Structure 1
Amino acid sequence: MSFRISVSGAAADAVRSAVPTLVDDLVASGITALDPALWGPDAQSEAAVRLGWTESVAISRPLVAEIVALRDDLHARGVTHINLAGMGGSSLAPEVITRTAGVELTVLDATDPGQVLAALGTNLATSALVVSSKSGSTVETDSQRRVFERAYLAAGIDPAERIIVVTDPGSPLEASATAAGYRVFTADPNVGGRYSALTAFGLVPSGLAGVDIGALLDEAEAVSLSLAVDSPENPGLVLGAAIAATVPRRDKLAILADGTHIVGFADWVEQLIAESTGKLGRGILPVVIEATAPELTEALPDVQLVRVVADAGTEILLGDDTDEIRVSGTLGAQFLVWEYATVVAGRLLGINPFDQPDVESAKIATRGLLDSRPAPEPAAFISDGIEVRGTAHVIGAASDLASAIDALLEELGPDGYVAIQAYVNRLALPELAGLRDGVATLAKRPVTFGWGPRFLHSTGQFHKGGPATGVFLQILATPAEDLDIPERPFTFGELVQAQASGDASVLAAAGRPVLTLTLTDPAANLATLFAALA
C-alpha cells in the first residue's frame, strides 16, 4: 500500500468514536464530490472555491511534459541550478519534494539580507529563478524577484531567459510576467496555497530541479480511491479523527520523523494543520520534534504523538498497547492523505479549514511600519550585547537575560505552549534551532520553532487565531550588511525588522506575552543566549 496508518490509545478511541459518524455522513465522498456544505454555512462560500486539490492529480498530469521539456531546454542552455522565491505553501512543498528526492534546490523564503545575498550568489550564471505566488503581491516574493532581475541584468543575462513564474490565472503577476516575456505556469485557482503540493506550485520548481514529478503524481493517485470511499478503513477519515476527536482534545500534535525516507515532511504538515485549524480560538498546533525532545518524556496530557515511520504495520490498526499515531507511505500519498485528514479535522472542530483570517493582521502591521518607518523602540535593557524588549508583564519582572526568559515562561498556563520565532539568517545561524529543546526543558510544555518570516505564512495564523495560550520568544539579529530592493523605499533589513515588529505588536494587542531578543553580534551572542537557558 502507498499509505499505512496505525492508531492506539486515545487516538484509537477517537477513531472508534468519530469515524462511524463520518462514514454515515458521507464525508469522504462529499469531499471528493466538491461539496462545500460539509463545513457549515459560514464556510460554504470559501469552500466552494477551495476544493480543487482533490483533483490535483488529474489536473496536473498535462503539466509534467511541459515542465520536463522546459527543464531540458534550460539544461541545453547551460542552466543547471534552480532557485525558488516563494513563501508558505509555495516553498514548503517543493522543499520537501526535492530534499526527499536528493535533488538540489535553493529555497528563498526569507527576507534577512544575508540569506538573500547568499541565494543571489548561488550559481547565478548557471541558474534560473522560479517566482511562485498566487497573486504576486506577497512582499517577500516581490522583493526577491526584483533583486534577481537586477542581478541577472548586471551579469549581462536577459531575465526573460531565466525567470519562470507560477501563479493563478488572471492574477496581477500573470499579467506583469507575460508582459516581461517570462515563462508562466498557471495553477488551479480553486486550490489554496497550503493545499497546493500536487499543483504547479509544488511541481514546477521540483520538476525543473530534477525530480520525477510523474512518479510523485502516481504515488498520490495510488491512494486516491481509498480516500474517496465512505469506509471505516478510509485513511483520511482515520487520520482526521485521530488528530481532532480525542476526548479531552489533545490539541498539540507532536510530529516525529522516525525512520521515514521523507525529509522535512513535518514542516509541511505544520503549515497545513496550523493555518487550516487555528482560528475561532481553537485548533491543533503541530510541534515538530526530534527523538531527543523533552516533550516525549513529560507525559503531557494535551500532546498527541505522530510518528512518521518507514512502515506503520498493517494498513489500518486499532490498538491500545501504545498511545500514538504511526503513519508511513510514499510522499505523494502522504500529501493527499494529510490534506483529506486536515479538512476532516476542520469539520470535527467546527471551523473553516480553507481561510486564514488572522494572517493579514501581521501583514497590515508590517506595511504600516514600512510606510512610516519609525525609529526602533528603545531596548528595555541590554544584557551582554543582547537587546531585550517585550510586553510589560515580561519586561517588568526582568533585570537580565535569564530573568527575562523566566518571566516569559511564568506566563505559561497548564495548557500553554512556547513559540520561538527566529528572524535571522538561518544559513548562518542554524544552531539557533537548538534553542527549542533548551526552552522545552525549562518550560516543560510544548515548544515550536519557526524561521521568520517563513512561519508567518504557516503557524502565524494559529498564533493569533488559535487558543490564547501561547507565549512568544522572538530572536532577531543585527545584519552584517543590508541590501536595497529595486524601486522600493525600504531595504531587506528594514523589511525583516518591520515583519518582526509588526507581528509582535499584533500579538501584544491580542494579549499574548512577547519577549524580543536582538543579537547585536550574533556569533558572540549565541553562547550567552544558550547559557541563559542552562
Structure 2
Amino acid sequence: MTVEVTLGDEAESVSPIRGKLAGEGVPAALAAGDPALWGAEAQAEAAVRLGWLDLPRTSRELLPRIAGLVERARADGLDHVVLAGMGGSSLAPEVICDTADVPLTVLDTTDPHQVRRALSDRLERTLVVVASKSGGTVETDAHRRVYERAFRDAGIDPATRIVVVTDPGSPLEAVAAEAGYPIVTADPEVGGRYSALSAFGLVPSALAGADVSRLLDDAAAVLPLLARDEDNPGLDLGALLGAQALAGRDKLILRDGMSEIVGLPAWIEQLVAESTGKDGTGILPVVGAEAAEDDDQFLVSIGPGDGTSVDGPLGAQFLVWEYATAVAGRVLGINPFDQPNVAESKDNTARILAEAGDGPLPTGVPLLTDGPVEVYGEVPGHPRNLADVLTYALRAIPDRGYLAIMAYLDREAAFDAAVVGEASFEEMAETWANADVATLRALLDYRTDRPVTFGWGPRFLHSTGQYHKGGPQAGVFLQVTGAVTDDIEVPGRPYTLGRLQLAQALGDLRALASRGRPAVRLHLTDRVAGVRHLLSVAEEL
C-alpha cells in the first residue's frame, strides 16, 4: 500500500511543473540526497538536512532500544506518558498516537493551568519524555525542571521517570547524562519538522503504545517511488504545491477527509508553513476551514474524496509530504530547511524578561475594556467595544491576505465545561465548542471569504510563526492572552510559567510590530467569562 495523490481539477496546471522537474532530474537527485537542488545559498544547510530520506531504514536501528524502554515502563507500571516537546518534537507524536488511539499527554505550552492539569494526573504512574533537538528549547527546559521538582516532592527519583530525546552533543544530552536519565539520540542531519520518523516521533509514540515499526514499514514501501519521474506521489504533490503558489493560490486549505488518520493537517501546517514562509513568499496552510472560498486558495483533503486528495497510511504520508515540501521549495526558489525568523520572537522574549527584571512586564495600557476583555494595540476609528475591534480585524485583511488568531491559553480548558449525566455526545460537543476559544476561528471565518487560521501559543511559534514574519506582508493578527490564577515556579529560573507565557506573547507582538503588521491583543481578565464573552460578541457580528 502506498500514497495516492489525486490532483482533481488542478491536474492540467500541475503537469508542466511536474514535467519540468522530471526533465531536470529532480526526483532521482532528491532521492539520492543532492544538496545542490535549492541553489548555492542553500547548499551548505541542505547538505546536513537530508537525513530524513533515509529514516525508513536508519530508524530501524532504534527499535531494540525503544522496545527496551517500553518494556521497562510497562514493568514499572508507568501508563501515563507525558511528552514535553515543541514543534517537530510534539506534532508528529500527537498525530501518531491519536491515529493509533493510544493516550499521550502533550505539553507544547507554557500555560501554567495546562501544565498543572498534567502534573495532577497520575503522577505516580507518569513517564515524561523530554524532547528537544537543540537541547535548549526554553519551554521544554521549563517542563523538565517542573517535573523534576514534582517527582522529588513526591519521593520519586526523576531518573526512573524521565527519558530524553535530543541530538548528540546538545546541552540537554549533557544534563541528562549527569542526571542518569535514559537518552536516545536522534540523527543530527534531520531538521525538527522533518523528524516524524526519527527518534522524536518514535520514542514517545511507542511508549504511549503505538506500533512504530509499522510506520517505518509503510514509509519504506513508498520510498522507492520517490526516485521515479512517473507514478511518484511526492513529485505529484510537490508540483501541485509549487504550481498553485506560482499561480497565486498560496493558501492551502487542509481538510480531514474519510481517513483513519487523525489530525495530520496540524503536522502538515508546521512542515509547509515553516519550510516555505520566508523571503516574502510561501504557502499558508489553513486548518479547519471547510472549503476554498477565494481564488488564492486551494483545497486538499486527507483521505479518499472528491477533488484533490492525498490518501495512504500515516508513515508513508509523513515521508511523501516531506518530499513534496522539499520539491515545492525548489519550485518557489527558497531554502525549505531553514527558519530565519523563528529565533526573533525567542530573542524578544528573553529581552523582555531581562529588561523587566523583577518588575511588571511591559503590557501597556488598554485601549478599551469590554466586560472581561481588555483590548491592547492600535485600532483606528475610535472603537467603542469588542465588536468594533473584531470588525476592524476582519475589514483590515488585505486582498489576498489572512487573519491569524493566536491564543496563549490552556487548550484543554474547554473540557472543564463538559456536560455530565444524561447528555448526548452532540450536547457535550456543543458545550465544549461554546467554551473553547478555538471556536472563534469558525465564527470569524463565517464572516469573511479570507482565510482565518488559529494557533495555540507558544506552540504556533514553532510552526506558522515563521510564515507570519517571513511570509508575505498580508496578515492581520489577533492575539488572545489570559489572567493566570494558579501559576507555577520554574526551578532554577527567574520566572514562572505564567510570566514566561506572557513574555512570549509580548515578544511575538514586538516582532510583528517591527514589520508593520497589524496586531491587536485581547486579554481575558477572567478566562472562562472572557472566552464566553468573546464568542458571543463574534457570533453577533
- TM-score category, normalised to shorter length: over 0.9
Q: Is the 8 Å Cα contact of residues 197 and 216 (structure 2) preserved in structure 1?
A: yes
Q: Show the counterpart of 1:318.
A: none
* CA deviation after TM superposition for structure 1 residue 375, in Å: 4.2
Match of 2:238 among 237, 240, 247: 240
Higher mean alpha-carbon deviation, 408-417 vs 370-379, is at 370-379
Q: Show the counterpart of 1:522.
A: 527
2:483 counterpart letter in structure 1? T
Q: Show the counterpart of 2:327.
A: 344
Q: Show the counterpart of 2:442.
A: 437
Q: Is the 8 Å Cα contact of residues 483 and 526 (structure 2) preserved in structure 1?
A: yes
- Residue 496, structure 1, aligned to residue 501, structure 2: yes
Q: Is the 8 Å Cα contact of residues 242 and 325 (structure 1) preserved in structure 2?
A: no
* CA deviation after TM superposition for structure 1 residue 378, in Å: 1.5
| Offset from partner CA, 1:474-515 (integer Å, 9 cap, x none) | 111112211110011111110110011110111011111001
| Offset from partner CA, 1:225-264 (integer Å, 9 cap, x none) | 00122x1321111001111213523100000001111111
Alignment of 1:50-449 (within 5 A): 50-229=49-228, 231-246=229-244, 248-290=247-289, 293=290, 295-296=291-292, 298=293, 300-309=294-303, 311=304, 324-373=307-356, 374-390=361-377, 392=378, 394=379, 397-429=382-414, 431-449=436-454
* CA deviation after TM superposition for structure 1 residue 435, in Å: 0.7
Count the aligned residue pairs: 514
* CA deviation after TM superposition for structure 1 residue 525, in Å: 2.0
C-alpha distance in structure 2 between counterparts of 1:527 and 1:121, whole Å: 26
Unaligned residue ranges in structure 2 (runs of 5+): 415-434
Go from structure 1 to structure 2 and tell me whether the alpha carbon gap of 1:406 and 1:397 turns closer, same or farther (over 3 Å shift). farther
* CA deviation after TM superposition for structure 1 residue 396, in Å: 5.1
Q: Is the 8 Å Cα contact of residues 257 and 308 (structure 1) preserved in structure 2?
A: yes
State the SS of the aligned residue for 2:117.
helix
2:181 counterpart letter in structure 1? Y
Q: Is the 8 Å Cα contact of residues 129 and 164 (structure 1) preserved in structure 2?
A: yes
C-alpha distance in structure 1 between counterparts of 2:528 and 2:372, whole Å: 11
* CA deviation after TM superposition for structure 1 residue 520, in Å: 0.7
Q: Show the counterpart of 1:18.
A: 17
C-alpha distance in structure 2 between counterparts of 1:103 and 1:525, whole Å: 33
Aligned-residue CA RMSD (Å): 1.3
Q: Show the counterpart of 1:316.
A: none
* CA deviation after TM superposition for structure 1 residue 24, in Å: 1.3
C-alpha distance in structure 2 between counterparts of 1:29 and 1:178, whole Å: 41
Q: Show the counterpart of 2:8.
A: 8
Report runs of 4+ in structure 1 exceeding 4 Å deviation.
Answer: none
1:409 counterpart letter in structure 2? L
State the SS of the aligned residue for 1:531.
helix
Q: Show the counterpart of 2:417.
A: none
1:241 counterpart letter in structure 2? A
C-alpha distance in structure 2 between counterparts of 1:135 and 1:352, whole Å: 20
State the SS of the aligned residue for 1:223.
helix
C-alpha distance in structure 1 between counterparts of 2:329 and 2:446, whole Å: 31
Q: Is the 8 Å Cα contact of residues 164 and 184 (structure 1) preserved in structure 2?
A: yes
C-alpha distance in structure 1 between counterparts of 2:259 and 2:235, whole Å: 22
Q: Is the 8 Å Cα contact of residues 167 and 173 (structure 2) preserved in structure 1?
A: yes
Q: Is the 8 Å Cα contact of residues 397 and 407 (structure 1) preserved in structure 2?
A: no
1:328 counterpart letter in structure 2? D
State the SS of the aligned residue for 1:442.
coil
* CA deviation after TM superposition for structure 1 residue 444, in Å: 2.1
State the SS of the aligned residue for 1:448.
strand
Provide the TM-score with structure 2 as the length reference: 0.93
1:433 counterpart letter in structure 2? A
State the SS of the aligned residue for 2:436.
helix
Higher mean alpha-carbon deviation, 61-70 vs 80-89, is at 61-70
C-alpha distance in structure 2 between counterparts of 1:439 and 1:237, whole Å: 35
C-alpha distance in structure 1 between counterparts of 2:523 and 2:68, whole Å: 47
State the SS of the aligned residue for 1:368.
helix
Q: Show the counterpart of 2:419.
A: none
| Offset from partner CA, 1:186-229 (integer Å, 9 cap, x none) | 00000000000000000000011111111110010110000122
Provide the TM-score with structure 1 as the length reference: 0.94
| Offset from partner CA, 1:386-420 (integer Å, 9 cap, x none) | 11012x3x255422111111122222111000000
C-alpha distance in structure 2 between counterparts of 1:379 and 1:477, whole Å: 14
| Offset from partner CA, 1:437-491 (integer Å, 9 cap, x none) | 1111223210100011000000000000000100001111112211110011111
Q: Percent identity?
A: 52
C-alpha distance in structure 2 between counterparts of 1:118 and 1:67, whole Å: 27
Q: Which has the higher contact order (CA 8 A, sep 6+)?
A: 1
Match of 2:518 among 513, 518, 525: 513
Q: Is the 8 Å Cα contact of residues 326 and 336 (structure 2) preserved in structure 1?
A: yes
2:32 counterpart letter in structure 1? A
| Offset from partner CA, 1:252-283 (integer Å, 9 cap, x none) | 00000011111110000000000000000000
Q: Is the 8 Å Cα contact of residues 136 and 167 (structure 1) preserved in structure 2?
A: yes
C-alpha distance in structure 1 between counterparts of 2:492 and 2:172, whole Å: 17
C-alpha distance in structure 1 between counterparts of 2:382 and 2:233, whole Å: 49
